[in-house]
A = this chain, B = another copy of it.
Amino acid sequence: MPHSAPPHPPRTAADQRDFETALRDVFEQRISFNKVLGFRIESFDPLEPRVRFDMRPELVGHYLYGRLHGGVISAVLDATAGFALMCALADKHRDEPAEQIVQRFLRLGTIDLRVDYLRQGIGERFHAAARITRLGGRIGSAQMTLVNEAGALIATAAASYVIS
């Protein structure tokens, strides 16, 4: 007796492109604060999702040294972990169409976040990466890093999320 077909076949290359286009649109354009800060998705690789942004005068926290405001650092690390969770969920739910994964993104909530500010946020371009350490049915956890274009480790972070 054949068991019932899944509601959707595993994600095709076309559906993956749809997912990436839709998620990029939400992440870079529709989340206003991400747009103000200039966050751009750099890699959709579920093993190493990354976000980047360029230094700009508005992002400065210390005018004498021209370094990033701590709030910019915590914003990008939180946003990158949320993005990484979406890549992991898209990978876990390969049978779901792109729009359904984006709906999951809109229900994602940060429970709490810790940031360690290790070095001054000096540089021209910054790259944030996240690693998923837990992907349960209700709770997701991630560890994040921020480096500048020279590879200096500026901050690390850990956060917990409600997922659905």
Contacts and interface: CB of A to CB of B under 8 A. Distances in A.
Instruction: Categorize the interface residue count of chain A.
Output: 35 or more
Instruction: List the number of copies, as a whole number.
Output: 4
A74 B78 contact: yes
A63 B32 contact: yes
A82 B107 CA distance: 27
Interface string A131-164: 0011000110101000000000100101010100
Contacts of A57: 32
Contacts of A115: 74, 112-113
A114 B143 CA distance: 12
A156 B34 CA distance: 22
A123 B5 CA distance: 39
Given A32-B57, A109-B117, 4 more contacts: A36-B36, A74-B115, A112-B114, A119-B134
29 contacts: A31-B60, A31-B61, A32-B63, A33-B61, A33-B69, A36-B36, A62-B106, A64-B106, A70-B74, A70-B113, A71-B71, A71-B74, A71-B76, A72-B75, A74-B75, A74-B78, A74-B115, A109-B117, A110-B117, A111-B117, A112-B116, A112-B160, A113-B115, A113-B117, A116-B134, A116-B141, A116-B160, A118-B134, A133-B156
